[in-house]
Amino acid sequence: MLALERQGRCLLAANTTEQGLAVLGRAQERLVELGAQWDADRVARLLRQHGVEVARTWRRGRHGYGDGLSPRELAVLRIVARGLTNRQAAEALFISPKTVAHHLSRAMRKLGVSSRTALARVAADAGLLDDSTPHAK
């Protein structure tokens, strides 16, 4: 596969771009099939530099919840909205106060507010404080 990559790079250097990109595309696909992710990523970067769309592989854990609150953010929000401090919420959820602060910060960003009071108000208006709501935008 690395020889195929070199061939593609040589074709690019010789200004036979279309042929070189085709060879590199085949090399990248085969590297992915073999599980050689680092090599496949290197070839994919080169292809992208030449305007070829290459699917990106997700390798950083679970996908996020986007603009929706995660179940943990929602749990922290519900506890804090009852008036508990970060330390008290942390003890109730068996996490650190810093983690509580992180979840609150993310929830505030997602809901477009900048204070705990506004967060509780927006959450109440959206029905997020009701335990039957799994998670919401």
So what's the pLDDT on residue 86? Answer: 95
Instruction: From residue 4, give the alpha-carbon distance in Å to each of 7, 8, 19, 55, 58.
Output: 5, 6, 12, 20, 25
So what's the pLDDT on residue 132? Answer: 60
Q: Does this model's pTM top 0.75?
A: no
So what's the pLDDT on residue 35? Answer: 85
So what's the pLDDT on residue 116? Answer: 94
Question: pLDDT by residue for the chain (137 residues), tens digit each?
Answer: 788 889 999 998 999 899 999 999 999 999 888 888 889 899 999 999 999 998 876 666 666 787 889 999 999 999 999 999 999 999 999 999 999 999 999 999 999 999 999 999 999 999 998 876 554 44
So what's the pLDDT on residue 89? Answer: 95
Give which of 45, 2, 52, 54 is closest to 27, Cα–Cα: 2
Give which of 90, 52, 48, 84 is closest to 72, Cα–Cα: 90
So what's the pLDDT on residue 65? Answer: 82
